[in-house]
Chain A
Amino acid sequence: MGSPSIRPLIAYDAAAHRSQLAKMLGELIEANVTGEERRRDFDRLLTRVGVHVTDLGESVTMSFQGGHLFIQGGLAPDRALTIHGDSETVLMLGNVEIGFARTPNLLTGAGRELVWRMVQGRLRVEGVSGNLTALTQLTRIFSVHGQ
């Protein structure tokens, strides 16, 4: 009897494997989901999210598969959410504090700055309507603050 195959927490396609952007997003999520509550979010999340970094002209797609994440280079079809932002703004998404009832705090610090950047057009999120729960879970998984 062969040993059971162990599916990695995060896998990359060839294009994402060459992408520093993909690696940083993957490594950040991998480090974050060592926390119990965020791991629960990660295990529940079933969605496909595109990230387009405007000043790099580079995109990746993250497919959350309930406890596993597959990252592809480029924007794959059937994305529920797509985030468009410059490098600084995309990294700032990881700095949103998680507040009351584990919801992203958009009133202070990075959260407030991101709202301002949305107004300015430096950050745009497609697909929010109908995917608010997934966006909230994603923000929690991505945030370096709190549990």
Chain B
Amino acid sequence: MSYPAFSAEWADAFKDEINRSDGYRKAAKGWKWTVGLVVEAEPDHGFPETRGLVLDLFDGEARRVEPGSADAARACDFTISASYSRWKQVATKQLDAVRGMLSGKLKVRGNLPTIVRYTKASQELTNCTTRVPVAWPDD
């Protein structure tokens, strides 16, 4: 079963995937901040409105993952913003998250030393997204 991209159902499946991941649990030990993902609109790709996703992550566990407004995502401790197409590239393993951050394809806001300290956790989080089956609006 595939979930509509960045929908509430997709967010639930993503949360379950995070909580099933031993790799994430180990890498994110000590993490205690919220993360907002901003998915910028691309009407040409069937994604007409900018959306946010709020992740409440604590010590290797996802306590809450839910869609919300872009403003709600931007209010998190860390925010990663990118266009719909970029996020699709990340979720389909065409763009590595670290490479995306260093190249500016993913725009990161938050305490940089903390991001560097938890690089492995961010990669594990990305791996979790790749395991959620997605119905992309432009496929």
Question: Which of B7-15, B61-69, B81-89, B108-116 forms part of the interface with chain A?
Answer: B108-116
User: Residue-by-residue, is B75-105 near A (CB-CB < 8 Å gives 1, otherwise 0)?
Assistant: 0000000000000000000001011011110
Residues in B with CB closer than 8 Å to A92 are 119
The secondary structure that dominates the A interface is helix
Q: How far is the CB of B13 from chain A (nearest CB, A)?
A: 26
B102, B104, B113, B114: the one contacting A90 at CB < 8 Å is B102
Contact bitstring A24-36, B, C-beta under 8 A = 1, else 0: 1001100110000
Which applies to chain B's interface (DSSP): helix, strand, loop or mixed?
A: helix
B117 within 8 Å of A (CB atoms): yes
B117: chain A residues within 8 A (beta carbon):
94-95, 144-145
Expressed in whole angstroms, the Cα–Cα distance for A60 and B15 within the complex equals 38
B residues near A144, Cβ cutoff 8 Å = 113-114, 116-117
| A18–B104 CA distance with the chains assembled, in angstroms | 10
Complex alpha-carbon distance, A145 and B30, angstroms: 14
A87 contacts B113, CB within 8 Å?
no
Name the distance in Å between A51's Cβ and chain B's nearest Cβ: 10
Are A20 and B111 neighbours in the complex by a CB distance under 8 Å?
Answer: no
- Chain A residue total in the interface (Cβ 8 A): 22
In the complex, whether A41 has a CB less than 8 A from a CB of chain B is: no
Kindly identify, within residues 46 to 74 of chain B, every residue whose CB is under 8 Å from any CB belonging to chain A.
none
B-contact bits for A58-95, CB 8 A (1 contact / 0 none): 10000000000000000000000000001110111011
Is A21 on the interface with B (CB-CB < 8 A)? yes
Task: Write out the residue numbers on chain B whose beta carbons fall within 8 Å of the beta carbon of A31.
Answer: 111-113
User: Considering the chains assembled together, what is the distance between the CA atoms of A19 and B112 in angstroms?
Assistant: 16
A110 to B93, CA, bound (A): 24
Select A28's contact among B96, B99, B103, B112, beta carbons within 8 Å: B112
Check A56 against B113 for contact (C-beta < 8 Å): no
CB of A129, distance to nearest CB on chain B (Å) = 28
B15: shortest Cβ distance to chain A, in Å? Answer: 25
Partner of A87, one of B102, B112, B114: B102
Q: Is the CB of B119 within 8 A of A24?
A: no
Known: A87-B98, A87-B99, A91-B98. A28 touches B104 (CB 8 A): no
**Residues of chain B whose beta carbon lies under 8 Å from any beta carbon of chain A:** 96, 98-99, 101-104, 111-114, 116-117, 119, 123
Query: Top 4 nearest A-B pairs by Cβ distance?
Result: A20-B104, A144-B113, A94-B116, A87-B99
13 A-B pairs, CB-CB below 8 angstroms?
Answer: A19-B104, A20-B101, A20-B104, A24-B101, A53-B102, A87-B96, A88-B96, A91-B116, A92-B119, A94-B117, A95-B116, A95-B117, A144-B116
Binding site for B on A (CB under 8 A): 19-21, 24, 27-28, 31-32, 53, 55-56, 58, 86-88, 90-92, 94-95, 144-145
